[in-house]
Each structure stands twice: as structure tokens, then as C-alpha cells.
Amino acid sequence: MAAPKKSSTRGRPPSITRERIADAGIEMTLPKLSFVGVAALLGVSHIALYKHVANLAALREQVAEAIFERWQAPPLATGKGATIEGDLFTFHRSLRMLVEHNPGLAPFLVSHGAKTPEMVERIRQHHAAFARAHDLPLEQAAWLLSTVAYHCVALADTVYARHATMDTSRRAYDPEKAEAEFDRGMQALISGVVAQSRLSGAPATRLR
């Protein structure tokens, strides 16, 4: 009797993976996200998608987490000219672009309840790296970065989410002017929080 043929371990890659779900969700954007839409982009039924993601809220969370995971915080400046203000300004610019290119992400960045444990851990690691780079207590570094991030993301979400729906028939939207105003405002905020941080004094414990 002939031996039974072994089933091949090779074949088509799975149609539904975490990476492909994220790609489809990012393409749709968070505000327009739907099970039917993501399933259509994956070439599967929305019933099949439900076997991998419990509900729409979980789908949004998964896509938002993937967006954040793919973003890399800008490298911290090194050398003689490196300053806390300079790193905070570069940080705000990077976050601003992240929000501009990913509508609907802002609530996941500014709300404690919306962040996944993985997002929280990445934020903690960035706080620790910033603290070490500038010889700051972790609490102080976290406050500086969180304050800048909160205001930057909230403002970026307002500027980039709403100008497209404004009535510009009487006054044209000037993106260059908006960018310049944004930069000036964030520079003022950064100068203020750094000054306040220095005046308030630093806790004794520092990261090494």
C-alpha cells in the first residue's frame, strides 16, 4: 500500500493578519474605518474578519496602535549644541506630522484611556531616554514631553482636521501662514514649560 501523501506546509499566506488589518485600516483612515471596508480591502468577508477582531472599537484600537508602533520618535540631539528646547521642538514637529497624516489618531494619543499597554510602554521608554540624554529626573522629563505632546496633538488635530471643511470663499486658507503660527505657538509653549520646570526645581532621583 502506498504511503499517504504528506500535506504541504507551503501555501498562500493567510489573508487576515494583524499587519494586513493595520495596512487596510490606515488606508481607510480611522474616521472612516468599518468592518465591511477593511474586509473588502483584505478580500475576505466581514464575518471572517470578526474571527480576528472582536468589534469596531477593538479594530480602531488595533489600527491606532499599529500607526503608533510604526512611528519612530526623532533621535535626540547630541553634542555641544544639544538643548532640551531643541529636542522638544523636534519632538513636536514629528508628532505634528504623525497627526496630519493619520486623521482620527489624536484621541488615542492624548487620552490615557485610549492608549494600549504597548503604546504606554513605548512612551515610557521615550521618557526614560529623554531623561538620560538631558540628565533629568524621569518625572520631570515625562512632564515636559507629555505637556508638549498634549498641546501639539490637540492643536494639530484642530488645524489639520478642520481647515478642509471651512468656508474659504471669503478668506483663503494659507497653509504656510498656519505652519508658521503653529511653530511660533509651540516654541512659546516649549520655552514656557522648560522655564517653569527649571524654576520649580527637580526631584532628587535621576535616571542613570
Q: Does domain 18-68 have CATH number 1.10.10?
A: yes
CA-closest candidate to residue 62, choices 122, 113, 116: 116
Average pLDDT over residues 102-122: 85
pLDDT surpassing 80 at residue 182: yes
Asked if the model's pLDDT at residue 193 lies above 90, the reply is: yes
Q: Tell me the C-alpha distance between 34 and 9, whole Å.
A: 33
CA 20/CA 44 separation, integer angstroms? 12
- Domain 72-200 listed as CATH 1.10.357: yes
Contact status, residue 20 vs residue 42, Cβ threshold 8 Å = yes
Q: What is the mean pLDDT of the chain?
A: 84
Q: Is residue 206 pLDDT above 80, yes or no? A: no
Predicted local distance difference test score (pLDDT) of residue 82: 86
- Domain limits of the chain? 18-68, 72-200
**DSSP conformation letters of the chain:** -PPPPPPPS--PPPS--HHHHHHHHHHH-GGG--HHHHHHHHTS-HHHHHTT--SHHHHHHHHHHHHHHH--PPPPP-STT--HHHHHHHHHHHHHHHHHHSTT-HHHHH-GGG--HHHHHHHHHHHHHHHHHTT--HHHHHHHHHHHHHHHHHHHHHHHHHGGGS--SSS---HHHHHHHHHHHHHHHHHHHHHHHHHH---S----
The predicted structure's pLDDT at residue 177 = 84
Span 126-162, pLDDT tens digits: 999 999 999 999 999 999 999 999 999 998 888 766 5
pLDDT confidence tier of residue 169, bands split at 50, 70 and 90: low
pLDDT digits (tens, 9 = 90+) for 5-46: 444 445 554 579 999 999 999 999 999 999 999 999 999 998
Residue pLDDT, tens place only, 41-55 = 999 998 999 999 999
pTM of the model: 0.80
**Residue written as grid cell 544639544:** 82
pLDDT for 52 equals 93
| pLDDT higher than threshold 80 for residue 88 | yes
